[in-house]
Structure 1
Amino acid sequence: MQTINVGEREIREAVTMDEAIESVRRGFVDLAGGEFEMPTRTALRDGQFLVMSAHHRSTASAMFKTLSLNFQRTPAIAGTVVWSETGRTEQLVADAGAVTTLRTGAVVGVATDLLAPSDAGRLTLIGAGAQAPDQVRAVHAVRPLRRLTVVDADTRRAQALLEALEPELPDVELSTASDAEAAVGSAEIVCCATNTTSPLFPASALPARVHVNAIGAYRPTMRELPDELLADSTVVIDELAAILEESGEILHALEAGALTKEALTELGTALTATDAAYGERTVFKSVGVAVQDWALARLLAEKFLP
């Protein structure tokens, strides 16, 4: 068995955000079509260690990811992604940190392209951590930005993020903020990428017409969005079983009676719907599922395996 190792720099050089978005989009369509065997991920030590896997039936390919999360260290995400195919003697082992941030950005790109107003160009990003750069890149890929506001309790971290992204956003108005409630008031798209345990803003702070992505909370104890927003929005999720296992905001809203399971639409289903109608406010909630990692690993396999 030959193993091909792919590091963060190689991943970044090989895969564009447009490619990642399209691959993740196809993956979710296949998920809706029953093409995947995908167990709910294993979470150890309250989510500090995660194990994920997915098998794509029609290609006889599989992805296995193990990673550790520690927001007090740099990098916060560390681990490996392994790609294998039946009948092939080569396997690919990739850096899980780069794959995770890229695939999380990509799914936000897919959801934003589906749900955000076609003319939306004002993004407020809450959280300037490891996931933040690819959140911006993904939204910009599908809704070219006119303005970007980064909210973080550490304004120096927010400013550092803007300085790093500035060469990629030459015509975008850039600013930082420390008050999330005020910063979302004029946004057309909001991305939440934090590890908070309580809502970041009240629903009343948002404009009537807005799309919100929430990807930071991935455990039942974590919660970025208020019940009132979920009750008053079209809510699209990555995958129902994973959401009911891990999404603190969805579980809280269900328990409070602000939301029903019937009101939740899986992303793959939404992508294949022919007569979908969405309200003025839309929410995409993701805890991250293995099909996203499979989609990125497949791209890498196509580029790096002989």
Structure 2
Amino acid sequence: MTDLLLIDAPTMTRLLTPAATADVLADVLRAGLDPEAGPPRTAVPVPAGELLLMPAASGPYAGVKIAGVAPGNPALGLPRITGSYLLLDGTSLRPLALLDGAALTELRTPAVSALAVRRLTPDDRPLRLVLFGSGPQAYGHLDAVLAVRELAEVVVVGRSPIGARALAGYARSLDVPARTGTPEDVEGADLVVCCTTAREPLFDGKLVAPGATVVAVGSHEPAARETDTALVTRAEVYVEARSAALREAGDLLVPLAEGAIGEDHIAGTLADLVNGCVPSGRPRLFKSVGMAWEDLAVAGALYAARTA
């Protein structure tokens, strides 16, 4: 254990850009990794909130993320998501590196979304983005979307007016026109990204334009959702893996329980998109719950880059 490599947040930022991280994920899917075979996330209630255990093994590496979700932390000036990632040699299971788990999540989650955005949105014109949320994931998603698409405007919708104004200011610092807005702004959006802790729908799904794309990443709980049944029933739905979505994606499980959709409503997966699946002209919904194979792929790439 004395030679365990430590990889912190600034090192991750230096080693992998958002676009490069999306490429890492695309490469492992093209190489044949099957997300459907991944082990489920284990959630363990603890007094401060919840511990999430996410193990995976593929290729030269194995690893496990222990993430903490502490709802009371923001009031204390601490991050809501904490954690560590232990990367192991895939053959001997010898520990190789310990990574900042929260920073890893903040890198890989927007990269997963960016990979979907590459396949689900047009690349022949600047897009109008409506971004729900103003926390670390919102900042990460703005950077990741800008890595793969040009933006005509960013409209930030946040529960905290101060946070929303700050994120809009950050977007303007990147030379993107930006302002704060309301849920009704989705009506004119090409792309809607939801990265919040909301448990109820954030906007009226009937307002989303036929060719628009919605990305929802904020929840992995069966009873929590950011999008409503109206959007889900209208949309062509893509997920990371059908098995994970049907375990954890409240955005789909609630309409399923209502009888509004069936399990066959899922049109495809991220692997399908990467391997050439062409979306229709309907609204598109990419619902992400976060999976252990994503953490492993990115952690392995960071380790390889750090030791090169």
TM-score, reference length from structure 1: 0.91
Work out whether 1:68 is the aligned partner of 2:71: no
Work out whether 1:173 is the aligned partner of 2:177: yes
> CA distance change for structure 1 residues 126 and 36 in 2, over 3 Å: closer, same or farther?
closer
d(CA) in 2 for partners of 1:155, 1:72? 20
Q: Per-residue displacement from partner, 1:89-140 (whole Å, max 9, x unpaired)?
A: 6601100111101100000000011111223511000111121111111111
d(CA) in 2 for partners of 1:29, 1:43? 30
d(CA) in 2 for partners of 1:272, 1:175? 36
d(CA) in 2 for partners of 1:64, 1:87? 15
Residue 104 of structure 2: which of 99, 104, 125 is its match?
99
Contact 1:80 1:94 in 2 (8 A): yes
> CA distance change for structure 1 residues 152 and 9 in 2, over 3 Å: closer, same or farther?
same
For 1:45, the equivalent position in structure 2 comes to 45
For 1:251, the equivalent position in structure 2 comes to 253
Contact 1:120 1:188 in 2 (8 A): no
Specify the code of the residue in structure 1 equivalent to 2:178: L
Contact 1:75 1:130 in 2 (8 A): no
Residue 154 of structure 2: which of 145, 148, 155 is its match?
148
For 2:22, the equivalent position in structure 1 comes to 21
Q: Per-residue displacement from partner, 1:140-197 (whole Å, max 9, x unpaired)?
A: 1111111011101211011122334443x21x111012x21x2212110000111111
Contact 1:214 1:224 in 2 (8 A): yes
Contact 1:21 1:107 in 2 (8 A): yes
For 1:10, the equivalent position in structure 2 comes to 11
Partner SS state of residue 131, structure 1 = helix
Specify the code of the residue in structure 1 equivalent to 2:285: V
Work out whether 1:272 is the aligned partner of 2:275: yes
Contact 2:217 2:287 in 1 (8 A): yes
Specify the code of the residue in structure 2 equivalent to 1:20: T
Contact 2:210 2:281 in 1 (8 A): no
Runs (5+) with no aligned partner, structure 1: none
Quote how far apart the aligned CAs of 1:263 are: 2.3
d(CA) in 2 for partners of 1:271, 1:25? 6
> CA distance change for structure 1 residues 245 and 49 in 2, over 3 Å: closer, same or farther?
same
Contact 2:155 2:180 in 1 (8 A): yes
Map 1:130-209 onto structure 2 (within 5 A).
Answer: 130-167=136-173, 169-170=174-175, 172-177=176-181, 179-180=182-183, 182-209=184-211
Quote how far apart the aligned CAs of 1:199 are: 0.9
TM-score, reference length from structure 2: 0.90
For 1:114, the equivalent position in structure 2 comes to 119
Q: Per-residue displacement from partner, 1:49-92 (whole Å, max 9, x unpaired)?
A: 11101111xx2311210010124422121111111122586601
> CA distance change for structure 1 residues 278 and 252 in 2, over 3 Å: closer, same or farther?
same
For 2:235, the equivalent position in structure 1 comes to 233
Specify the code of the residue in structure 1 equivalent to 2:228: P
> CA distance change for structure 1 residues 36 and 184 in 2, over 3 Å: closer, same or farther?
closer
The alignment-based identity, stated in percent, is: 28
Contact 1:150 1:158 in 2 (8 A): yes
Q: Per-residue displacement from partner, 1:17-51 (whole Å, max 9, x unpaired)?
A: 11111112223334x54488520110122972111
Specify the code of the residue in structure 2 equivalent to 1:282: R
Quote how far apart the aligned CAs of 1:231 are: 1.0
